[in-house]
């Protein structure tokens, strides 16, 4: 994912319920819910790609 020039790499570690994804940041090793990560990424440079 890329937002404001900053790139994030993560992997899905759990899908506790339909449409909810728990992800792990591959750089910081923090875990969080994907919707928390993308809720502020609405700028024109926002890009989410599957690798």
For 1-45, the pLDDT digits (tens) are: 776 777 888 899 999 898 899 999 898 899 989 888 777 655 666
User: Model's pTM, two decimal places?
Assistant: 0.63
Tokens of 50: 């599957």
- CA distances from residue 12 to 5, 8, 35 in whole angstroms, order as listed: 22, 13, 12
What element of type H or E holds 21?
strand 20-25
Report yes or no: 1 and 10 within 8 Å, Cβ to Cβ.
Answer: yes
SS3 7: strand
Tokens of 29: 């090793």
């Amino acid at each position: 994912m890329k937002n404001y020039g900053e790139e994030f790499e993560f992997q899905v570690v759990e899908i506790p319920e339909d449409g909810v994804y728990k992800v792990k940041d591959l750089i910081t090793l923090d875990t969080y819910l994907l919707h928390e990560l993308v809720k502020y990424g609405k700028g024109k440079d926002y890009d989410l790609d599957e690798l």
